[in-house]
Structures are given as structure tokens and as C-alpha cells.
Structure 1
């Protein structure tokens, strides 16, 4: 009788790795536009590593009081649960660099083009070197009032770069949201509206000091 087959060992011997399965958009970006924009983003990454520019990736997210704790340890005779309070959430606007520099703001209101414009306008007045902000193609990022500010921001040294469509995997801000919801927030943070708001603000405020993300290098291929 042969030895039992331990599948993880087999997978590892074939070069496999146990890792999170990423979500990807079902639709595909235009291949030529995708290649062009990715090449441009690669150049921005090189300038950032050389210290010649600041490079941030921006996005919005929502943390709901219904909780986001998909896994956890549970022992015999112990009930593990996330107690929810429906109807409350925190919306977050955030910019993150691979060096864990972070600009952020929270609100209990809907994040609009006006909100994004105000945050980028504030950033444009505090720059010490040319800064590029990478955004996806959400409608709030293409609002007319943002488009009307682009020329002014460029004069101040702030430039907005839009990712190719259907390419969330290029935006490292997605990693920040995943870390926040799956690792940094704990079950007790969701108990009440105020505790959730405090916990989200506490986490965002300590990115780059107590909380750091080891981002993977930019994949130019």
C-alpha cells in the first residue's frame, strides 16, 4: 500500500503557493491602452524610487457596521460572532504610497466629486515636490469640477494619472483597504457606531508608524 498523498506538499513541489485569490474585473481593458498606461506607470514608479517625485495611489472604501471578519479562531464551547448594528458605516478617502505615506479623510456622508476635489486641492497646497496621484475611473474621479481643477493643480505640481479601465489590481490602495478590514480592525470595533468610527480613524492615522504594508514591487510585465 502506497504512502498517503498530502496535497499541499504536492502543490509545493510543483511550485504552487497558498495565497489569497484576487478578485479581477470580468471585463478586460483595451490591450493597447492597458500596455501604454502600464508602461507610463512603470516610469512613474522608477521616478518615485529615485526620490524625484511623490507617487500616491488613491481610492475610496466603506467600512460597514455589519462587519467584515470572514475568519477567526474558535475553541470548544466558545461562540465567536460579530455583533452588528445595521445602518451605520464609515466612508474613507485615502492616498497611499509604497513608502506608506498616507493622506486620508473619513466621512459618514457619500463621497462625491466635491469631496475628492477638496481633498486633492488641499494636497496641492502642501507639496514639496512634484506629486502624481493614481486614480481609477470611478465617476467621482471624472467629475467636471475635478476636470476644471486639473490645470491649476498642475501649476502647483500635482498631476492626476488615471489607470486603464478594469484594472483594480494596479491600484495598491486596494491592499490598504484589505488590510484595514481583514487585519487591523477587530470584531469589537464593530460593536457600536462610535467605536467603528474611532477604530477606522485610529488605524488610518497610524499608517506609516505603527501600521505598515510591505507592498510588492511594481510588476512591469
Structure 2
């Protein structure tokens, strides 16, 4: 009605970023996509996300007589680190503890060893990506033809894996995943392991 639609309001960081830098990096990423399409490189978008028992979907069909109630469980999370391509290929790891620089470095070391061609990994400016330990590994990975490309600050729109996290949280996890931690763990692993097969994103 009158151009309005009922949809979830989303947070924006546009006001904090340098728009000129954003557009410059955006253009570079489009060039990287073309290089990937030509078969010259592999291009991955990387990030971490966490999943807890507080549901991200606040609405569900239910009756007045039999409302759907979820346990108010907080503090326990599954943490996922992932590297995703535009062809829905996902390299990931799930932990019940938080990721730190050491764990991210171990994850990246395993990823680097299975690459087969020149590879670009796009990451944000998270402190664990910019730690002294992580930055010290960049040259070693570069020597194995894996290059880290950092996004400008406050630019989540440029990191396509953010779309994956939203799809999982708001669409792909069934409502009963939030009934207990066991359900959440099983369903999250089901989605992650079937990404590109049962669950897909068209970029």
C-alpha cells in the first residue's frame, strides 16, 4: 500500500564507511569475479558467524490453544567459519568454542593445502583477521598462491558469505532447531553439509 511493504528492518553501516573506498574495492571485486569466471582464479568469500538457541525467526504459525514455546536458553553457541564461492562451494568448520587467531590460522592452513590454483580469499577487518599472528601468515600463504584480500571497513555488502549466514538463520533452519542444542547442532550441520546440493544460492 502506497509503496510500503511489510519486511524486516535491517541494520546499515553505510554512514560509517568511506564511500569512495567502498566503490573502489567494489570495482576490484567485480574484476576478481571475471577472473574467476574465466577460470584463472578461484575466489572465496570468508567470514565467521555464530548460531544460538535464540531464534532469528520471530514468527511461526501456531494456534491460540497450543502456542509454540521455545526454551529461553542463552550462552551456548555454535561458531562457524566458512569460505564460500559463488558456485555454492563451501569449506567450513564448526566449533562449540569461540574462534581465535590460532584456530583461524589452523583452518586457513588446511584450506591452503587443498587449493589447486591461484586463489583469492576475501575477508573483513575482524580483529582475528588482522592480528599479528594472522598477518604474519599472509606471505606464507601467498607463496602457495593463496592471496588474502581485505574489504574496506563497514562494508558487509561486499562479502557474499553474509547472504549464506542470513539464509541459514532466517530461512533454512527449521523452527524446531531452536528447541535444544542437539537439534541446533544436527540441523546446522545438515544445512552446511548440503549447501550447493539441497540448499543453494544463485549469485
Equivalent positions of 1:156-171 (< 5 A) are: 156-171=144-159
| Aligned residue number for residue 115 of structure 2 | 127
**In 1, are the aligned partners of 2:14 and 2:155 still within 8 Å (CA)?**
no
- Normalising by structure 2, report the TM-score: 0.91
Unaligned runs of 5+ in 1: 1-6, 216-221
Separation in 1 of the partners of 2:52 and 2:146? 32
Separation in 1 of the partners of 2:139 and 2:120? 14
- Normalising by structure 1, report the TM-score: 0.84
**Counterpart secondary structure, 2:29:** helix
Separation in 2 of the partners of 1:85 and 1:29? 35
The Cα offsets for residues 68-97 of structure 1, whole Å up to 9 and x where unpaired, read as: 222222345331233343332101111111
**In 1, are the aligned partners of 2:83 and 2:90 still within 8 Å (CA)?**
yes
| Aligned residue number for residue 205 of structure 1 | 193
The Cα offsets for residues 160-217 of structure 1, whole Å up to 9 and x where unpaired, read as: 11111110111111111111111111121122222211221111111011111123xx
CA pair 31-183 structure 1, distance change in 2 beyond 3 A: closer
Separation in 2 of the partners of 1:54 and 1:20? 34
Equivalent positions of 1:69-80 (< 5 A) are: 69-75=57-63, 77-80=65-68
Q: Does 1:107 align with 2:95?
A: yes
**In 2, are the aligned partners of 1:48 and 1:55 still within 8 Å (CA)?**
yes
Alignment length, in residue pairs? 203
**Counterpart secondary structure, 1:153:** helix
Query: Looking at CA atoms only, which structure, 1 or 2, has the larger radius of gyration?
Result: 1
Unaligned runs of 5+ in 2: none
CA RMSD between the two structures: 1.9
Q: Does 1:64 align with 2:52?
A: yes
The equivalent position to 1:139 in structure 2, one of 112, 116, 127, is: 127
- TM-superposed CA distance for 1:41, in Å, is 1.1
- TM-superposed CA distance for 1:114, in Å, is 1.1
The equivalent position to 1:83 in structure 2, one of 61, 71, 83, is: 71
| Aligned residue number for residue 4 of structure 1 | none
More displaced, 17-26 or 49-58?
17-26
More displaced, 34-43 or 177-186?
34-43
